[in-house]
Structure 1
Amino acid sequence: MSGAQDGANPLSKYKLVFLGEQSVGKTSIITRFMYDTFDTTYQATIGIDFLSKTMYLEDRTVRLQLWDTAGQERFRSLIPSYIRDSSVALVIYDITNRESFVQTTKWIEDVRAERGDEVIIVLVGNKTDLNDARQVSTEEGEKKARDFNVMFMETSAKAGHNVKALFKNIALALPGVDKSANDANRTSTIDVSLSTSNHNATTESDCAC
């Protein structure tokens, strides 16, 4: 984006933190959103990865800052500081791994402990391309989202299913977005692959996990 464009339409910046157990697909969802690709190799995220992307909505432009956290227990002590100033927390589970779904309760409670009700929480069931191996029904995900009063969506980072819709719905829920102006266009694509930057923050990988 040029300086002139930024001056005419200042970017609102929002921090999105991705949480969940190891191997649920946090990095793969980010990679699909950022680059519309899927990496079939697996390498665990070490520490925290950071990327950002600009989205163009009907009434303004927003910059989403995506913070990808490690799922391994040894990195848990790092995560509260990243939750603390977040606008959105995406709590990801693998629909073929029931334990990862059970653990989302703890992740949601961690977010609420740090941010109270001042954060949008989205419960995301990933890997719908593996539906034959599903251990968590869509209805169970929906019920947990209702119980915790959070947003819910199922995705497949591998197939690209619902990934753009996920980020579009998040963008429309952000503070300051004129939802009435956008509601008529909710089924259309707000596209997105426009301005990206890639930074490493206490990390050694940019993986598809």
Structure 2
Amino acid sequence: MNTNTKTGPPTFKLVLLGDGRVGKTSLVLRYVNNVFSDSQTATIQASYLTKRLNINGTVVTLSIWDTAGQERFHALGPIYYRDADAALLVYDVMDKDTFTRVRNWVKELRQMASKNIILAIAANKSDLVRSQKIDLQEAERYAESIGAKHFVTSAKLNTGIEQVFLDIATRALEKRKSIIEELPSIPQRKGMVIIDEQPGPPPQSKCCS
């Protein structure tokens, strides 16, 4: 995880992972720009958006990478998640295969991403609950078992989305603070006072002729 402590608002890299057509792009566009389209075009490789938010008085920036879900782009995944602070794994409540894919992504992240990466799972398209094929309680238990948070979202109805990104940003900020606090401080040497003096002119000779 990036532990850069430069002045200015903290920035956290968030990568979205999941199969094609689960609604990753729709979630991001709804969150960042508050727009939704039923005919959202598929993402090619990845797209990038940013969002600033205030967490208990601290302004943070989410740097959001929306990755392509098509299998032919899978090999590009590590480029985006290897140095990510957090990953949002998205699946479609109507498609069991997309939830299986989330499990596979988690295994891959455990092997190749930062050990400090924050995980969240979104059960998207909850507006189509009548066609739901996923046991949400099972999904919640799975999320808990891997230290992730589980959310039920709908980009179309704009439900659950603010909570997802706020939770991710909040946990990322807490993680950043804890890592900074754990950094070793410079030990002070006891019993010594060091005074930096500016060099003066060379001493004049007092020898008599």
Q: Same fold (TM over 0.5)?
A: yes
- Residue 98 of structure 1 corresponds to 96
Distance in 1 (CA, whole Å) between partners of 2:162 and 2:113 is: 26
Ranges in structure 2 where 5+ consecutive residues have no aligned partner = 1-6, 178-209
- Residue 107 of structure 1 corresponds to 105
Residue 39 of structure 1 pairs with residue 40 of structure 2: no
- Residue 154 of structure 1 corresponds to 152
Compare the two structures and name the one with the higher strand fraction: 1
Distance in 2 (CA, whole Å) between partners of 1:86 and 1:178 is: 13
- Relative contact order higher in (CA < 8 Å, ≥ 6 apart): 1
Residue 129 of structure 1 pairs with residue 150 of structure 2: no
Distance in 2 (CA, whole Å) between partners of 1:128 and 1:38 is: 15
- Residue 163 of structure 1 corresponds to 161
Distance in 1 (CA, whole Å) between partners of 2:175 and 2:143 is: 22
Ranges in structure 1 where 5+ consecutive residues have no aligned partner = 1-8, 180-209
Distance in 2 (CA, whole Å) between partners of 1:116 and 1:67 is: 16
| Equivalent residues of 2:89, 2:122 under 8 A apart | yes
Distance in 2 (CA, whole Å) between partners of 1:105 and 1:19 is: 11
| Equivalent residues of 1:59, 1:178 under 8 A apart | no
* SS of 1:174 mapped into structure 2: helix
Q: Greater Rg, structure 1 or structure 2?
A: 2
The alignment-based identity, stated in percent, is: 33
Residue 87 of structure 1 pairs with residue 79 of structure 2: no
Distance in 1 (CA, whole Å) between partners of 2:141 and 2:22 is: 20
| Equivalent residues of 1:16, 1:67 under 8 A apart | yes
| Equivalent residues of 1:87, 1:120 under 8 A apart | yes
Distance in 2 (CA, whole Å) between partners of 1:42 and 1:29 is: 11
| Equivalent residues of 2:84, 2:114 under 8 A apart | no
| Equivalent residues of 1:59, 1:177 under 8 A apart | no
Flag as ranges the 4+ runs of structure 1 deviating above 4 A: none
Distance in 2 (CA, whole Å) between partners of 1:54 and 1:47 is: 24
Of 137, 140, 145, the match for 2:138? 140
Distance in 2 (CA, whole Å) between partners of 1:13 and 1:116 is: 16
- Residue 205 of structure 1 corresponds to none
1:178 Cα deviation from its structure 2 partner:
10
What RMSD over aligned residues (CA atoms) do the two structures have, in Å? 1.7
Distance in 2 (CA, whole Å) between partners of 1:124 and 1:130 is: 14
- Deviations along 1:87-144, one digit per CA (max 9) or x if unpaired, are 0100100001111011111111111112253100111110100000000021021011
1:149 Cα deviation from its structure 2 partner:
2.1
1:170 Cα deviation from its structure 2 partner:
1.3
Distance in 2 (CA, whole Å) between partners of 1:35 and 1:116 is: 29
Give the TM-score taking structure 2 as reference length. Answer: 0.78
